[in-house]
Amino acid sequence: MKFLCVDCDEPMALKEALGPDNGSLSVVFECGTCGRQTAMLTNHMETQMIHSLGVKVGGRTEPAAPMETIRDNLDGFDAPSPEEPAPHTAEWYAQKMGAAPKSEGGGCPFSGMMAPQIEAAEGLKWTAEAEARMERIPEFVRPIVRKGIEDTARSEGAAVVDVSYLERARGQMGM
């Protein structure tokens, strides 16, 4: 984009760029032939957009380096050290939530959060057949399913959780 002098029909050259000042950017252009000046003022959002696009105000004096924008955006990025798990993996969440990582026990990062609730299910006994059925439920949802079934059994005053509770839960979940 260039600004043209209306009187001379010549492209205007960058005279000065000021800012960003309080989020605004001020750019002054001047006609090389007649000396006419024009200014452009950007607001905070326009200034942010210009910077996020990697636009250099006033043009370049040297050609862009290969992958310059990517390198500029990666400045300050700290890769995780080999001792700590990579972000957003199951081990990372487990460590963050204080649950046991896979190597120390359960493979689900949420098992540590559900463990106190599971231990609090006092008085309810599970039949061997019901326990065997629970083992077929994927590990990552098993604590939540177990809690839901036990809550239902407790609300009905049952002392033993049998296969009928698992069947009802399966029907309610549409499986």
In this predicted model, what pLDDT tens digit does every residue of 106-153 receive, in sequence order? 556 566 555 555 555 456 899 999 999 989 888 888 888 888 889 888
Pairwise CA distance, residues 146 & 162, whole Å: 12
pTM of full prediction above 0.75: no
Tokens of 25: 């950017």
Q: Which class for 64: exposed (0-12), middle (13-18), buried (19 or more C-beta within 10 A)? A: exposed
26 three-class SS:
strand
Q: What percent of the chain has pLDDT above 70?
A: 65
| pLDDT value, residue 47 | 78
DSSP state of 35: -
Please state the φ and ψ torsions of residue 48, each to the nearest 5 degrees: -65, -40
| pLDDT value, residue 127 | 93
Pairwise CA distance, residues 29 & 94, whole Å: 56
Please state the φ and ψ torsions of residue 148, each to the nearest 5 degrees: -60, -45
One pLDDT digit (tens) per residue for the chain, 175 residues: 678 888 888 888 888 887 777 778 788 889 988 989 888 888 888 877 877 777 766 666 677 778 777 777 776 666 655 666 565 566 666 666 665 545 545 556 566 555 555 555 456 899 999 999 989 888 888 888 888 889 888 888 888 999 998 888 888 777 6
| pLDDT value, residue 89 | 63
Pairwise CA distance, residues 98 & 151, whole Å: 25
Please state the φ and ψ torsions of residue 37, each to the nearest 5 degrees: -120, 150
- The verdict on whether omega for the bond into residue 20 sits within 30 degrees of 0, i.e. cis, is yes
